[in-house]
A = this chain, B = another copy of it.
Amino acid sequence: MQGAYKPAKPGRRATATGGAPAQGRELRAQGKRTLAKLLSAGLRVFAERGYHVARVDDIVRAARTSHGTFYLYFASKEDLLRALAIECAAEYEALAGDIGEIDSSPEGAAEAERVVSRFFAIYRQYGPVIRAWMEDQVTEREVSRLGVEAFTHIATTFASRLRRVGAPHDDATIGVLMALLERSAYYQVSRASNAGDADAAVTVARTLHRGFFTAAA
């Protein structure tokens, strides 16, 4: 049954009879290790092949475990995507909560670079997850909302920084800023090699800092 499968609501069993994803239960040390292995393998494989093309088989092979084990921890392939989406949203929330002061000074530029750089790093890790949730492949509405919220949080934080500096911070401006951030990350991740990440971050950060934080000067 392949396509016929529907995602489990978290905390409930996948089907009437079988499948008990381990995210509800208490996990012992070994269980936690396996869960982590699967999550990171999933991330890697989704990144390499894309969510749709990725096979559960690829994932378990990458995690050096078995099909059976996979379904001990996740109710379905989509359930793994869900778990990763939650992780990703958490990362972006953390970033949002951690954006320092950004003013027109060199220190402000440095902070901007740090933020952009971290934004890119997360995007590089979770790119396919983000794309999947953007394309409504995450059936669970609540999960895709997490992503939107995290991005919104980042956007409002930037707005507050712009306000302090006295720079324009209306919705349209913020929209452009976020578009710049996202698209740059996207291009960086999808086109270039890992190597250029730092450089690209520097360039984008400079553009962002000059264009939005010092333009008023």
Contact = CB atoms under 8 A, between A and B. Distances in A.
A172 B203 contact: yes
Nearest to A19: B4
Interface in A158-217: 172-173, 175-176, 178-180, 182-184, 190, 203, 206-207, 211, 215
A6 B183 CA distance: 31
A55 B135 contact: no
Contacts of A55: 17-18
Number of identical protomers: 4
A156 interface: no
Nearest to A172: B207
Contacts of A52: 52-53
Contacts of A173: 207, 211
B190 A17 contact: no
A67 B3 CA distance: 16
A184 B177 CA distance: 12
A180 B1 CA distance: 31
A43 interface: no
A176 B179 CA distance: 8
A135 B190 CA distance: 7
A161 to B, nearest CB: 18
Given A18-B57, A179-B182, 18 more contacts: A1-B3, A1-B4, A3-B15, A4-B4, A17-B53, A52-B52, A52-B53, A136-B190, A172-B203, A172-B206, A172-B207, A173-B207, A173-B211, A175-B180, A176-B179, A176-B207, A176-B211, A183-B183
15 contacts: A1-B1, A3-B18, A4-B6, A18-B55, A53-B137, A136-B190, A172-B206, A172-B207, A175-B180, A175-B184, A176-B176, A176-B179, A179-B180, A179-B182, A182-B183
